[in-house]
Structure 1
């Protein structure tokens, strides 16, 4: 019998165990927060060790850095980290240009999916295959979703991509035409290491965001006509993009009033004032057209101010900051953005989320404080320098080291990271179609969040525990089974074949023959323990895998050259120890 189908007989049991175990995985891989201190030296001592050993990065620590800062470690990346040192590698990545999203075309969404008409306007390639799939590839983000996966697997700007993806889950937009989502995601890539103030100004004026949260065509108040400034963007700008709703200490803890209740960041009057500051902006001109208020929809570039629709009255916004009367639409937006991004809560509110998305779901207050300090001053007096903040996050003593065993440390690999990490580390190839399909099956269709709140909340608590586990918000029985299905498809069923609906499709494959004909069970487990878990597989975990491998005879193993590799990568990649990035 073909060994590929032997594994399926045990798959249901493995899936059930995975679903039950993974819901408590943060605890299983080390649960209560009380253990954090016992797992680590003091921050000062660890920092001293780092500074005196910059040139000697261990393989395991290099792998851990790459799990945090890329979409998955490769041997070439590990060698680069060890050659350049951690700070040197980060600096090189910050300097690497964006891979970006290319090959999209403007269309007027008001035309619906009239592709036969639109291809003549946008000079879309009109071969039969392209024309057949025009509705999908032009009027939805499908082409950008596919590029996301191909870029993440093969792009050289790994850190930029990983940070931009994190930002896309904070500064959420969802859906739209391919050109619109491509332009928005390129904006995040280009500003991933800019100041947060500049990023927020650019985000605020992007027409995709303007349409998503109703800032575009937001008119000044007019009591006679019953017009009030639309508050949707102003509210989400404060609640989700900058300050949060409660005042925070620099360690991320909530400030309380004399009655033990959270101190609010803003009042309703300040939301209204912010909304008034955000009036007077409309879509940029369409190709060959001109700008008009409430004119043709264009979801790329920057919105254009029409001063007659801007509220020029004085405004008192966040923190009591006063915007003087008579300002332009642009000067008022800049003042409102600066008032918000200068607010003390921004550093811990956004900084902690970036820690959660890169390193660990439960950073200690001290970790958040150290990152907040860099956010407030990068050493040169600059506030919100994202390049410095990301460097601080990745070089912090709580991030570095060969192995972390504290029970609340780590983060669940979300579906996109889970799939791409396996492809990168094991040398997979993809045209993006397969992982794009599987990401949706696992509850995280890229750039298609169900709301502005992303697929999950940063405050989500992992079921069965008392610790944060944001990514557990998309984990349920169905999505976990589909994780296992993805692994079965990749490691036992040959991957995903070429798709006739896209040009030059190559499918999605992970070729395990490159690891040779493995025959020694223990050596095979050790090899993939090193590749996938930076040598951290527990003794109990190895014993469990060995028991499974011992079910097969030496003759069966020799008859199927990739048998040990397939079983090892499947059993490790579907285990809680792999699914929790530590």
Structure 2
């Protein structure tokens, strides 16, 4: 059977498969199982974040924050199917070893282990690649970050941090599409490191890291922002977005994330005057360095590490007038640092922040349309981790991933689940089938084109609104009629679907990256190729948490079985291996092409 023959078989089978699948409402091949919940001793409470805002200890890794007490001393145990489902949300994807390990343990043990793992810095990868003095800051380009991103996303032991950091990068957006950010690859790597560093700390410290990172300063233009004068108004970009996108949102919320209404209409969270007042807070911030000279503020004199060191405040350029915003005043605050501390404290303690951020994290990890009760429980964990600490990210992450709504058996309603975004699908495949680069470089660069790639690349969103907005509603759809959202559908179109199928067909059969250097290891699957039912069971567990419908299973099984494996003789070993390989490729491709895989439940 030639490779073109396999391509024709893939195309014909896929067409018939997708025509038959529709939205899918079949029962699963196995009965739904409810996770067991048992009480385990709580962790030792150590509130707060161990690192000062924006600081990074020397070395290739940084230590994790201390464990904090979960909001409830409960731990879920999982069957293999449930473990696969949990890992599909909490990581870039499950492999069989991870599924078996979690099924033999419990969620609390898993969380403790993940929260305790040190963080490997992307910035250090770039420094090592460009060791000459000053080279990393001037010669590195986004492709260098992509290498490090995929190395850690696929092979990193700290999988929870990897997945949460990626989610945070889609909320606190910085993008290399910005012409000021694009040349600053080491700075972008450092920004991503900062998100990972504070992913398990406290939201207030995370917010500080975001606000003072020079890449955010470049992206939302509060780096070199100057105080008001007769001819100048402070830049309002960051002041607006830190409220609208990062903390409190546009409208006042109840504790469960539902809108507060007045006369049947939403209530604004902030006014034009609030933006203007907050913009003055973010004046005087610019590049780090040993002094506050004007030429350092404007950038003509550069510290070699200014691309990753937190911005400093320059008193000469910071507004000294009173700043009023969100019902508070900076009168009496002593300088730029104090003004920022008051502003970020105000946003951190705003009643909207917990439900606003919690809903977005749920959307990124679990489901596009969480119920108000689900959002309310996560917001409650944000407000109090069980030990009186607000903003404990460990508590929030536990609440998102262990909520009863998240652990409930998958249903088939429109409200259930979320569309897997393309980068996560690629990560699923790479982790499930141990895709590795023999040279350990992972040169996976050109993913942004939806026709030839995936329509998505890390840290390369088209705007501060990410690739997709959390409130996106596909027009003229059943979701729209039901009042539901589907964020990832904003980057889904006929060309992008075709591009994804072509990309994954090539990846599954030949590998990804430059020279197709990243290749999967299908040895376990090839051993099952002459047992197509067992092969499909394995693929189902790895990619679909065992939730493949009976109808889809029957169709894929029929397609796989249609590839005949010749009887072994002394001279046809290559033909036997090729037929088995085709079976494996077809089973994986058809699973990943199916709507049942694309919609993660």
With the shorter chain as reference, the TM-score category is: 0.7 to 0.9
Q: Distance in 1 between matches of 2:414 and 2:229?
A: 57
Residue 115 of structure 1 corresponds to none
> Which residue of structure 1 aligns with residue 50 of structure 2?
none
Partner residue of 1:316 out of 324, 327, 330: 324
> Partner residue of 2:289?
285
Q: Is the 8 A contact 2:143 2:443 kept in 1?
A: no
Q: Does 1:213 align with 2:215?
A: no
Equivalent residue number for residue 9 of structure 1? 8
C-alpha displacement at 1:69, in angstroms? Answer: 0.5
Shift of 1:394: 0.8
Deviation, 1:530, is 2.3
Provide the rounded CA distance (Å) in 2 between the counterparts of 1:87 and 1:120: 44
Q: Residues 536, 243 of structure 1: CA spacing in aligned structure 2 closer, same or farther, 3 A cutoff?
A: same
The answer to whether structure 1 residue 567 and structure 2 residue 575 are counterparts is: no
Q: Judging changes above 3 Å, is the alpha-carbon distance between structure 1 residues 149 and 290 closer, same or farther for their aligned structure 2 residues?
A: farther
Q: How many residues align?
A: 533
1:457 aligned to 2:469?
yes
Deviations 1:388-446 (A, max 9, x none): 10011111111115644444211111111100111101111145656432354221121
Q: Give the drift of 1:14.
A: 5.8
The 1:104/1:425 distance shift into structure 2, 3 A limit, reads same
Q: Give the direction of change, closer, same or farther, for the CA distance of 1:551–1:40 in structure 2 (3 Å limit).
A: closer
Report the Cα offset of residue 121 of structure 1.
Answer: 5.1
Change in CA separation of 1:245 and 1:54 when aligned onto 2, cut-off 3 Å: closer
In structure 1, the partner of 2:118 is 97
Report the alpha carbon displacement of residue 139 of structure 1 after superposing the two structures with TM.
4.6
Q: Distance in 2 between matches of 1:350 and 1:67?
A: 21
- 2:162 is aligned to 161
Distance 1:256 1:58 in 2: 43
- State the distance in 1 between where 2:404 and 2:25 align: 20
Residues 327 and 400 (structure 1 numbering): CA distance in 2 closer, same or farther, change over 3 Å? same
The change in CA–CA distance for 1:161 and 1:242 in structure 2 (over 3 A counts) is: same
> Alignment partner for residue 373 of structure 2, among 366, 370, 391?
366
Deviation at 1:385, TM superposition (A): 1.1
Decide whether aligned partners of structure 1 residues 227 and 460 sit closer, same or farther in structure 2, where only a CA change above 3 A counts: same
Find the aligned partners of 2:281 and 2:128 in 1 and give their Cα distance.
29
Q: Which structure 2 segments of 5+ residues have no match?
A: 41-73, 177-181, 568-574
Deviation, structure 1 residue 524: 2.2
User: Offset of 1:550 from its aligned partner?
Assistant: 4.0
**Mapped contact 1:71–1:158 kept (Cα < 8 A):** yes
| Equivalent position of 1:232 in the other structure | 237
What SS does the aligned partner of 2:405 have? coil
Q: Quote how far apart the aligned CAs of 1:153 are.
A: 0.4
Distance across 2 between alignment mates of 1:378 and 1:454? 29
| CA displacement at 1:164 relative to structure 2 | 0.7
1:274 to 260, 270, 278: 278
1:323-357, CA deviations, whole angstroms, 9 ceiling, x for partnerless residues?
22452100000100111111111111110010011
Aligned mates of 2:491, 2:17 — CA distance in 1: 15
Residue 271 of structure 1 deviates from its aligned partner by 0.7
Determine the C-alpha separation between the residues in 1 that align with 2:220 and 2:462.
14
Gaps of 5+ in 1: 31-38, 108-117, 125-133, 500-505
Matched, 1:478 2:502: no
Equivalence for 1:145: 146
Shift, 1:202, TM fit: 1.4
- The answer as to whether partners of 2:382 and 2:391 remain within 8 angstroms in 1 is yes
- RMSD of the alignment, in Å? 3.0
Task: Give matches, 1:60-139, under 5 Å.
Answer: 60-101=81-122, 102-105=124-127, 122=134, 138-139=139-140
Q: Deviations over 1:481-537 (max 9, x none)?
A: 122112211233x214765xxxxxx81111223323421232322232222222211
2:66 aligns to what?
A: none
Q: Do residues 448 (structure 1) and 464 (structure 2) align? A: no
Query: Structure 2 length as normaliser, TM-score?
Result: 0.82
Question: 5 Å matches for 1:243-258?
Answer: 243-258=248-263
Structure 1 residues 376-455: aligned runs within 5 Å: 376-401=383-408, 403-430=410-437, 431=440, 433=442, 435-438=444-447, 440=449, 441-455=453-467
Deviations 1:255-287 (A, max 9, x none): 1112x1110000111111101111111111399
Which residues in structure 2 correspond to 1:50-69 (within 5 Å)?
51=39, 54=75, 56-69=77-90
Contact 1:200 1:337 in 2 (8 A): yes
Counterpart in 1 of 2:566? Answer: 555
Q: 2:551 aligns with which of 531, 540, 546?
A: 540
> 2 CA distance for matches of 1:163 and 1:364?
21
1:35 matched residue in structure 2: none
Supply the distance in 2 between the matched residues of 1:443 and 1:65 (Cα, whole angstroms): 26
Partner SS for 1:436: coil
Q: State the alpha-carbon separation in 1 of the partners of residues 144 and 17 from structure 2.
A: 33
Match of 1:507 in 2: 517
What SS class does the counterpart of residue 378 from structure 1 fall into? coil
Instruction: Give the CA deviation at 1:478.
Output: 1.8
Distance 2:97 2:561 in 1: 33
Aligned: 1:351 with 2:351: no
- The whole-number CA distance in structure 1 between the counterparts of 2:170 and 2:39 is 33
Equivalent residue for 1:130?
A: none
| Greater share of residues in helix | 1
Alpha-carbon distance between aligned partners in 1 of 2:565 and 2:343, rounded to the nearest angstrom: 70
Q: Structure 1, residues 346-400: CA drift from partner, whole Å, max 9, x if none?
A: 1111100100111111111110010011111111111111111001111111111
In the superposition, relative to structure 1, how do residues 480 and 19 fare at CA in structure 2: closer, same or farther (>3 Å)?
Answer: farther
Shift of 1:210: 0.6
Q: TM-score, normalised by structure 1?
A: 0.84
* Separation (CA, whole Å) in 2 of partners of 1:417 and 1:251: 28
Give the secondary-structure state (helix, strand or coil) at the position aligned to 1:146. helix
